[in-house]
A and B are shown apart, each in its own frame.
Chain A
Amino acid sequence: MNAQTLEPYLKKHPFFKGLSSDYLAILVGCVKNVSVEALQPIFQTGEPADHFFLIRQGAVAIETSSLEAGAVTIQTLGNGDVLGWSWLFEPYRWNFDARALMQTRLFSLDAKCLRDKCDRDPAFGYDLVKRFSRVMVDRLQATRLQLLDIYALPTGE
């Protein structure tokens, strides 16, 4: 599929809900349709964060590696979720591993391409960053809840 035919599918993705067609046109130039086989890595810690991904269909595990436990899954993402925001900030390197848990189809957005477009069109950049901020806030909230270990019995019982 070429970039043009991707536009209607991109528009439907929850992350871009309400995005103006002008901005969509800007984005489309940076998008590729990709797929990953089950259990294959999508990116690894330390690698350059050249892309971010929108999960269309499938499941992805965010992992990190600990000496004793090996690969530890911190969070899983599914259909409609955004994967990766390290592309937004220097040094543009991944802090975690991402691995497909099953055959997964994703939109891959070229980070450098997008960063350039954001610099040239700040209004577009603002819209994009606002969307990412929302995702980050939600992810932070979910992570905080996860940290609270809400199902555990409090100690001192």
Chain B
Amino acid sequence: MREYVMGECVIVERRHLQALVDALGRHEFTVIAPTVRSKAVTYQEITSIDELPVGMIDEQDAGVYRLKQGKREAVFDYTVGADSWKSYLHPPALKLFSATRDQEDGFTLHEGEEETPRYAFFGVRACELNAIAIQDKVFLGGPHIDVHYKRRREETFIVGVNCGRATGTCFCVSMNTGPRVGPGYDLTLTEVIENGSHVFVTEIGSERGAAILAEIPHTPADENRTEQAAAIVHQTAKNMGRRMETEGIKELLYENLEHPRWDDVASRCLACANCTMVCPTCFCTTVEDVTDLTGEHVDRWQKWDSCFTMDFSYIHGGSVRKSNKARYRQWMTHKLATWIDQFDSSGCVGCGRCISWCPVGIDITIEVDAIRKTPKRSHVDDAEGETS
């Protein structure tokens, strides 16, 4: 096998894309890729490229998601769907351990998971790779390590995709997370369709990536092709659906915890928790002990949780964040401000899912803007001139 250079580009023809999926399968990866379920793009296990939403594009806006037939047979013309790769790295339900009652010594612990799954994520967007890196910091970067996340993450093979188009709720440019896929991938594809040719300009990001690539047909990429790929990404960057001004955003939110805008958004927010579920960086979980009927056996589960629930902040006697306002404020301030103090980056990658999947169409880019533009005011109004 010849030596590949990291960052080197090759061309993989459309008809050989299946070979890439097959190669991953041969190396015992479970390939997870976008597919369509319930009229939305979602990441599921696949074995064939035909299972991907080929030829489809998405129209997204506040509270709106529509998948439609596009004008060309592109494999990756849609963008992000309802779920994210966190469903696999940080699953919605995970058994931490099980335990059985022991006469002598109270109880005995057993492993929760027998085998760690080995995933190949096929079609990771720039914003998503960033989200994975953000969760890496949460679970692997602190004084404790999430061993379950680590086991899955270590094995994960990443095939990135440079977005050929942006949709209405995209703002990765504002968050500096795309549209070009950053470091951390094994291979990245940029789809180029023109004049009857349909190829993927493929960048090599790791030795593992090079090894897989070696098993599928490909040709060296010339400068023309790499320039085409770069131009596509450049064009996507110019077509962002939204924008978020991030200058001084941490201080802005820290100084405006009592801004009247919070009451405004709270009156619209249903606390349905959709945003936290679709967000690729939200990581909050709860821990549940589930016993069997005899009470002799217990399973401890880790499950997704949301700061929007009333129970989330419950301490004896009541919840700290009772009002809708307090809970919305918690989510948005955490995502855009306190996250920076906690993990040295924003928690938001600009994927726009929270905007599309909010049933009432709350848009955080607009909310931030509103706080910036409306000056704080006291709730005590001047009653000059009123006599009674």
Interface residues of A (CB under 8 A from B): 153-154, 156-157
* Chain A residues within 8 Å of B316, by CB: 153-154, 157
* Chain B residues within 8 Å of A153, by CB: 316-317
* Chain A residues within 8 Å of B317, by CB: 153-154, 156-157
Report whether over half of chain A's contact residues are helix, strand or loop; otherwise say mixed: loop
Inter-chain CA distance A153–B317, complex, in Å, is 6
Inter-chain CA distance A157–B319, complex, in Å, is 11
Inter-chain CA distance A153–B315, complex, in Å, is 11
Inter-chain CA distance A157–B316, complex, in Å, is 7
* Chain B residues within 8 Å of A156, by CB: 317-318
- 9 A–B pairs (Cβ distance < 8 Å), ordered by A: A153-B316, A153-B317, A154-B316, A154-B317, A154-B318, A156-B317, A156-B318, A157-B316, A157-B317
Inter-chain CA distance A154–B319, complex, in Å, is 12
Residues 262-300 of chain B, each 1 if its beta carbon lies under 8 Å from chain A, else 0? 000000000000000000000000000000000000000
Inter-chain CA distance A156–B316, complex, in Å, is 10
CB distance from B84 to the nearest CB of A (A): 38
Leading 9 A-B pairs by shortest Cβ distance: A154-B317, A157-B317, A153-B317, A154-B318, A153-B316, A157-B316, A156-B317, A154-B316, A156-B318
CB distance from B320 to the nearest CB of A (A): 13
Residue in chain A with minimal CB distance to B318 = A154
CB distance from B317 to the nearest CB of A (A): 3
Inter-chain CA distance A154–B318, complex, in Å, is 8
Interface residues of B (CB under 8 A from A): 316-318
Report whether over half of chain B's contact residues are helix, strand or loop; otherwise say mixed: loop
Inter-chain CA distance A153–B316, complex, in Å, is 7
CB distance from A150 to the nearest CB of B (A): 11
Inter-chain CA distance A108–B316, complex, in Å, is 47
Inter-chain CA distance A157–B314, complex, in Å, is 11
CB distance from A31 to the nearest CB of B (A): 46
CB distance from B316 to the nearest CB of A (A): 6
* Chain A residues within 8 Å of B318, by CB: 154, 156
Residue in chain B with minimal CB distance to A152 = B317
Inter-chain CA distance A154–B317, complex, in Å, is 5
* Chain B residues within 8 Å of A154, by CB: 316-318
Inter-chain CA distance A59–B177, complex, in Å, is 68
Residue in chain B with minimal CB distance to A154 = B317
Inter-chain CA distance A26–B317, complex, in Å, is 54
Inter-chain CA distance A1–B318, complex, in Å, is 59
CB distance from B73 to the nearest CB of A (A): 61
Residue in chain B with minimal CB distance to A155 = B317
CB distance from B122 to the nearest CB of A (A): 50
Inter-chain CA distance A156–B318, complex, in Å, is 9
Inter-chain CA distance A19–B326, complex, in Å, is 48
CB distance from A153 to the nearest CB of B (A): 6
* Chain B residues within 8 Å of A157, by CB: 316-317
CB distance from B321 to the nearest CB of A (A): 16
Residue in chain A with minimal CB distance to B317 = A154
Inter-chain CA distance A154–B315, complex, in Å, is 11
CB distance from B57 to the nearest CB of A (A): 52
CB distance from A148 to the nearest CB of B (A): 13
Residue in chain B with minimal CB distance to A157 = B317
CB distance from B311 to the nearest CB of A (A): 14
Inter-chain CA distance A74–B318, complex, in Å, is 29
CB distance from A66 to the nearest CB of B (A): 29
Inter-chain CA distance A154–B320, complex, in Å, is 13
CB distance from B246 to the nearest CB of A (A): 41
CB distance from A92 to the nearest CB of B (A): 39
CB distance from B30 to the nearest CB of A (A): 46
CB distance from B310 to the nearest CB of A (A): 13
Known: A154-B316, A157-B316. 7 other contacts (CB 8 A): A153-B316, A153-B317, A154-B317, A154-B318, A156-B317, A156-B318, A157-B317
CB distance from B242 to the nearest CB of A (A): 43
CB distance from A157 to the nearest CB of B (A): 6
